[in-house]
Amino acid sequence: MKHLNLFLTLLLCFGSLSAQSNQPSAVEITYLDIHPSKIGTFVKLHKEVSDMAMGDDRTIQDSWVYRHWYGSGASVMIMDVYATSEDALKDDFRAAIGNNMKDKSEKEKEAFRSVFQEWWTFFDGHWDEMRVYNPMTDFVSKENVDWDIPFVFVVGSYNTTGNMREMANAYTNWQTRPHVENGLQLGGGFTTHFKGSGADVQFFGGFKNIKEFAETISTQSSDNPEDAKKFWDAVSGSHEDQIYVHVGHLENGVFNLAGKDK
């Protein structure tokens, strides 16, 4: 088990970002509808493709993969992080694969083509969105957290007729910060909508396991009632909650499966 440095993983789901710039990063989220019995196969293939797709043609800074555990959402969620939305558009994983395959034998090339083709079939019917996130202002965490575990990743999606950041900050002060500083929550934060069909604001939180998540929601924070009111007054319409489990992430140019190193 590797004990990842917080500044390198910087945000349980989003990894190392250009925090020192204090500028919003772009988070490209891809949702896949994969049958639960096939998720293990997808993750294995995803590691092979991800490892082959790293190189100078890539602008990606981090990528985190989660499998669905509870709710009505997609069965797999991939979160790719870029310094800017422009970098997200420039990212060329196919060119990187082409460069990495140049020196392979014909047998190796054919084997990888088969892997890629099977992996790509899992993207049939996918949908995606882009969100923005500032690692300096939109996240709080306990110190020295080991994110290289199959932690529980909870996402709540909300819309508002008001200011997205004001609503997000109110929730952070009411729920996220108290649970991280005084409770069992490992870390949490929020993203705001940039393009696609997603919600205005998404709140995310990481927990060591489902038991600690259940204990947390059974004792919702009563701190900062003014922020609680400010948050709920800003909410428009219904909201949606999903529970995922972390299965792997990019680390030093390699897709690292969550848990003890094999």
For the chain, the domains span 1-262
Listing DSSP states for 127-152 in one string gives EEEEEEE-TTTSEEE-SS----S--E
User: What is this structure's pTM?
Assistant: 0.88
Average per-residue pLDDT in the chain? 90
Which of 15-29, 131-145, 221-235 has the least mean pLDDT?
15-29
CA 102, chain centre distance (Å): 32
Does residue 3 contact residue 48 with C-beta atoms inside 8 Å?
no
Q: What is the pLDDT of residues 72-112, one digit of tens each?
A: 889 999 999 999 999 999 999 999 999 999 999 999 999 99
Of 7, 31, 15, 109, which is closest to residue 63 (Cα–Cα)?
Answer: 15
More confidently predicted of 15 and 51: 51
pLDDT at 251: 92
- Single out the residue of 190, 187, 194 nearest to residue 156, CA to CA: 190
Q: Is 113 exposed, middle or buried (0-12, 13-18, 19+ CB in 10 A)?
A: exposed
Find how far residue 143's CA is from the centre of its chain. Answer: 19
Question: Of 10-24, 132-146, 165-179, 200-214, which range is least confident?
Answer: 10-24
Residue 123 has pLDDT above 90, yes or no: yes
Q: 34 Cβ partners below 8 Å, 6+ apart? A: 42, 75, 76, 122
pLDDT (tens digit per residue) in 187-206? 999 999 999 889 999 999 99
Residue type, 68: H
Helix (H, G, I), strand (E, B), or coil: what is residue 154?
strand
123: tokens are 């993207």
Exposed, middle or buried, 233 (CB in 10 Å: 0-12/13-18/19+)? exposed
What is the domain class of 1-262 according to CATH? alpha beta
